[in-house]
Structure 1
Amino acid sequence: MGNQDIVQKLWNLCNVLRDDGITYHQYVTELTYLLFLKMMKETEQEEKIPEKYRWDSLQKLHGIELKTHYQKLLIDLGQQESDTLKQIYVNAQTNIDEPKNLEKIIRSIDNLDWYSAKEEGLGDLYEGLLEKNASETKSGAGQYFTPRPLIDAIVKTVDPQPGEKCNDPAAGTFGFMIAADRHIREKTDDYFDLGQLEAEFQTKKAFTGVELVKDTHRLALMNAMLHDIQGDIRLGDTLSEMGKGLKGYDVIMTNPPFGTKQGGERPTRDDFTFTTTNKQLNFLQHIYRSLKADGKARAAVVLPDNVLFEDGTGEKIRKDLMDKCNLHTILRLPTGIFYAQGVKTNVLFFTRGKSDVENTKNVWVYDMRTNMDKFGKRTPLREKHFNDFQTAYFSDNRENVSDKRWNLFTLEEIKKKNNSLDIGLIADESLEAYDNLPDPIESAEETIDKLEEAIGLLNEVVSELKEVKNNKPENTEETKVGVSGVMKYD
């Protein structure tokens, strides 16, 4: 059994909890509490956990006694001296009401093929679970999950190096930093090519981040731990006072949350030159200000279209960005790659200058949006879709790249457009007539998703009916099964 099969089995257990009213996101958080204990046993690290709360303690109990023990476990582990335990279990509470459901999940987790999971990598298993959660539109988890192919393409383009301090100020589940760690490990024979101090820096200090949402922060900690990353992942708001101390980074890669600050209030930081309620513009200010001013520190940031053309403060921030940094490349991303359909996004690639003025001379733009495939659950984004962009990006002579999607804009041209960066999209009149029509592929995909969900629920009913039938006491007469799926015995 491979990790993909294990992820599907774990995901199917969510149906067990549907009667408890548990959401997909709550379920993944609940799984994190249990998987941490199981994985500590499988990796022989249980000494970090008090003996009475280790995985085997959950297998010895049943019914209300199990639930009571589990509730106490969550509270006590959140108060341990161990930073890892405290951060993963702080304020933890279970959403499972029925003890039988808790017991079923524990038994199911224990019966998985953990030998195969360890062979393929427990970190990859957990990432697969997070990706599954994000792909479920009902979970709302896509807000903190950036598609793996996009992350990998950005990391390959930015090319973080050993010894560099990397940060994600809107870390989500820590996907960018985990991909950066993987990228450097592949280039250094899993850090064996580095000296002891250099290797220790990579695992303990190289990768850091900040996450605002408590449950998401918990997932990030678990994800980092399973990938042997011990860097500082803070729970907090980068746009608050705590963000003022986040600076001096060599590499920043991030996908900040979209929208305005809740209630329309300004960020609580007093060190921003330009004040706005637009969270992406504030994150953009934070990012280019927190890079080392050494002419080498660089960033890649996923931002929605409005950041490229917003007037007023938006224009001032873009001008400040192009002064302090060399904004050398913009990648116009296709629609449909995020789980919120219709979101139009871009990746800005820039390098911090040694001075604070006139660092941007020209901006290269690659259009991956016009006449691209319609991406969705049935036609997922793959890393191969970025091949042409990366060929142009890494070309020794960008001017000689014969790709109509690849175009150069001078700073003078951009200034004439009031510093608007809404540039580089290829005109295609054939698409205009269909812009306001629903995508038939997306509509069909949504219908298929609903049918698959219904089939999954029916399969669960059949499984439960079979279980009841197999455990039917002798000398009873089976009545007919009604449409509701209820079976009685007299």
Structure 2
Amino acid sequence: MGNQQIVQKLWNLCNVLRDDGITYHQYVTELTYLLFLKMMKETNNEESIPEGYRWDSLTNLHGLELKTHYQKLLIDLGNETNDILKQIYTNAQTNIDEPKNLEKIVRSIDELDWYSAKEEGLGDLYEGLLEKNASETKSGAGQYFTPRILIDIIVKLINPQPGERCNDPAAGTFGFMIAADRHVREHTDDYFELGEKEAEFQKYKAFTGVELVRDTHRLALMNAMLHDIQGEIILGDTLSDVGKSLKNYDVIMTNPPFGTKQGGERPTRDDLTFTSTNKQLNFLQHIYRALKPDGKSRAAVVLPDNVLFESGIGAKIREDLMDKCNLHTILRLPTGIFYAQGIKTNVLFFTRGTTDKSNTKDVWVYDLRTNMPSFGKRSQLTNKHFDVFVEAYKAENRANVNIERFNVFTREEINKNANSLDIGLISDESLSVYENISDPIDSAEEAIEKLEQAVALLYEVVSDLNGAVNRTSNRNPIGKNHRVVAQTTEVGSNG
């Protein structure tokens, strides 16, 4: 059984938990608690785990006794002094109500082909599980997961080197840094070409990040550990005082969260020259300020279209970016590659200058959006879609590149247009009388996804109501055995 089959088998177990009202994202977090213990056993690293809480302590128990032990295990491991245990299990709690469901998951994990999984790589198995979660739109986890194809292209072009400090200030599940580690390993014979100190730096210092959401932070820690990366992953908000110490990086690659700061608030840190309620603009300012001002440090940032044209503070931040950095390339990404349909995004590539003025002379824009397929479940983004862009990006003399999608704009032209970077899109050939007619299959799939999202939300409400009923049952004997029940009708061949 290969990793893909194992991932599918683990994913199918989620169906067991639907009656417990557990969401997909909660399920992956629950799996992380269990898989950590199982993988520590499989890799002979159980010495850091108290003996009574190791994997076999779960397989030897049944029913209510298993559930009681598991609940205590989560609490006690969260209070351990061992750093990785503490971070994985702090505030951990199970969402599984039925002991039989917990037992089924434990038994199923124990019966998997772990020899094959280790052969293919436990890190790859876990990444496959995270990718599966992100691809299920009803899970909502796509906001934490940048498409693997896009990450790999960005890492290839940024080309992190041994000895460089790399950071992701909005780390999600740590995908950018894991890909960067893989890239350096591939070019150094898995670090064997490096000296002992250099290899140690790569493992402990080279790749770091910050993640705001606790459950996602757990996933990032697990992902890093399974890829043998032990760089610091901070649980916190880059736009708070936490971000003030994040400086002098050689490489930053990231996909900051979309949207405005909750409640229209501005960042709480006081060291940013410009502040906005737009989180992406604040992240962008943090990123170019956090690069080492040596003329070599570089960044690639995924940002939505509004960052390119927002006026006021947005225009000032773009001007500051082009002064402090050489913003040499913008890649206009196609739609449909992120979890939210219709989100229009771009990748900004820039290098920090040695001075703070006039570093951007020209901006080259590659349009990978106009006249492109509509990407989604049926039409997947592949490496081939980026081949021409990569060739143009790497050209020694871009002026000699004759590609309709690749155009250059001078800083003077950009200045005249109020520093707007919403540029470079070519003529859209699809504009016709048929432009508003949607693909019926895509429309049907979108409708199904919305219905599934609604059902998932209802399950969460039912779970909360059940919790409320259980909490008040001791005070209300009449309702002690009452339970809120959700009834859903599946639309099938019988209507």
TM-score calculated relative to the size of structure 1: 0.91
Match of residue 209 from structure 1: 209
Matched residue type, 2:120: E
Match of residue 394 from structure 1: 394
Match of residue 13 from structure 1: 13
**1:312-461, aligned counterparts within 5 Å?**
312-431=312-431, 437-446=437-446
In the aligned structure 2, how far is the partner of 1:120 from the partner of 1:192?
20
In the aligned structure 1, how far is the partner of 2:365 from the partner of 2:317?
19
- Deviations along 1:369-415, whole A, 9 cap, x unmatched? 01111110111111221111000000111111121101111111111
**1:188-227, aligned counterparts within 5 Å?**
188-227=188-227
Q: Is the 8 A contact 2:325 2:360 kept in 1?
A: yes
Matched residue type, 1:56: D
In the aligned structure 1, how far is the partner of 2:452 from the partner of 2:242?
45
- Deviations along 1:333-355, whole A, 9 cap, x unmatched? 00000011110000000000000
In the aligned structure 2, how far is the partner of 1:173 from the partner of 1:415?
37
**1:104-183, aligned counterparts within 5 Å?**
104-183=104-183
Match of residue 468 from structure 2: none
Deviation at residue 442 of structure 1 after TM alignment: 2.2
- Deviations along 1:246-279, whole A, 9 cap, x unmatched? 0010000000000100000111011111111000
Distance 1:363 1:23, change over 3 A: same
Matched residue type, 1:243: G
In the aligned structure 1, how far is the partner of 2:450 from the partner of 2:364?
42
Q: Is the 8 A contact 1:377 1:445 kept in 2?
A: no
Deviation at residue 144 of structure 1 after TM alignment: 0.6
In the aligned structure 2, how far is the partner of 1:436 from the partner of 1:323?
41
Distance 1:374 1:75, change over 3 A: same
Distance 1:450 1:239, change over 3 A: closer
In the aligned structure 1, how far is the partner of 2:339 from the partner of 2:451?
19
Task: Between 428-437 and 410-419, report the one with greater CA deviation.
Answer: 428-437
Distance 1:138 1:83, change over 3 A: same
Deviation at residue 440 of structure 1 after TM alignment: 3.5
Match of residue 45 from structure 1: 45
In the aligned structure 2, how far is the partner of 1:36 from the partner of 1:356?
46
Distance 1:196 1:135, change over 3 A: same
Match of residue 296 from structure 1: 296
- Deviations along 1:205-227, whole A, 9 cap, x unmatched? 00000000000000000000000
Aligned structure 1 segments of 4 or more residues deviating by more than 3 angstroms = 432-441, 444-453
In the aligned structure 2, how far is the partner of 1:435 from the partner of 1:45?
58
Task: Between 351-360 and 380-389, report the one with greater CA deviation.
Answer: 380-389
Deviation at residue 431 of structure 1 after TM alignment: 2.6
% identical aligned pairs: 81
Matched residue type, 2:303: L
Secondary structure in structure 2 of the residue aligned to 1:132:
helix
Secondary structure in structure 1 of the residue aligned to 2:253:
strand
- Deviations along 1:48-88, whole A, 9 cap, x unmatched? 10000000000111111000000000000001111000000
Match of residue 71 from structure 1: 71
Q: Which runs of 5+ in 1 are unaligned?
A: 454-483, 486-490
Q: Is the 8 A contact 2:325 2:356 kept in 1?
A: yes
- Deviations along 1:155-184, whole A, 9 cap, x unmatched? 001000000000000000000000000000
Deviation at residue 429 of structure 1 after TM alignment: 4.9
Matched residue type, 1:259: G
Matched residue type, 1:58: L
Matched residue type, 2:212: L
In the aligned structure 2, how far is the partner of 1:441 from the partner of 1:433?
20
Match of residue 257 from structure 1: 257
- Deviations along 1:273-303, whole A, 9 cap, x unmatched? 1111000000000000000000000000000
Deviation at residue 439 of structure 1 after TM alignment: 4.6
In the aligned structure 1, how far is the partner of 2:98 from the partner of 2:136?
24
Deviation at residue 434 of structure 1 after TM alignment: 5.5
Match of residue 477 from structure 1: none
Secondary structure in structure 1 of the residue aligned to 2:346:
strand
Secondary structure in structure 2 of the residue aligned to 1:431:
coil
Match of residue 478 from structure 2: none
In the aligned structure 2, how far is the partner of 1:415 from the partner of 1:437?
38
Match of residue 80 from structure 1: 80
Matched residue type, 2:297: A
Task: Between 425-434 and 86-95, report the one with greater CA deviation.
Answer: 425-434
Q: Which runs of 5+ in 2 are unaligned?
A: 454-488, 491-495
Matched residue type, 1:401: V
In the aligned structure 1, how far is the partner of 2:283 from the partner of 2:329?
18
Distance 1:214 1:361, change over 3 A: same
Q: Is the 8 A contact 2:138 2:452 kept in 1?
A: no
In the aligned structure 1, how far is the partner of 2:79 from the partner of 2:260?
35
Secondary structure in structure 1 of the residue aligned to 2:392:
helix
Task: Between 347-356 and 433-442, report the one with greater CA deviation.
Answer: 433-442
Secondary structure in structure 2 of the residue aligned to 1:93:
coil
In the aligned structure 1, how far is the partner of 2:57 from the partner of 2:34?
12
Deviation at residue 445 of structure 1 after TM alignment: 3.5
Matched residue type, 1:71: Q
Q: Is the 8 A contact 1:378 1:445 kept in 2?
A: no
Whether 2:246 is the aligned partner of 1:237: answer no
Distance 1:200 1:398, change over 3 A: same
Matched residue type, 2:386: F
Secondary structure in structure 1 of the residue aligned to 2:431:
helix
Distance 1:449 1:417, change over 3 A: closer
Distance 1:202 1:67, change over 3 A: same
Secondary structure in structure 2 of the residue aligned to 1:393:
helix
Matched residue type, 1:393: Y
Secondary structure in structure 2 of the residue aligned to 1:258:
coil
TM-score calculated relative to the size of structure 2: 0.90
Match of residue 474 from structure 1: none
Distance 1:414 1:441, change over 3 A: farther
In the aligned structure 2, how far is the partner of 1:230 from the partner of 1:263?
35
Secondary structure in structure 1 of the residue aligned to 2:4:
helix
Matched residue type, 1:417: N
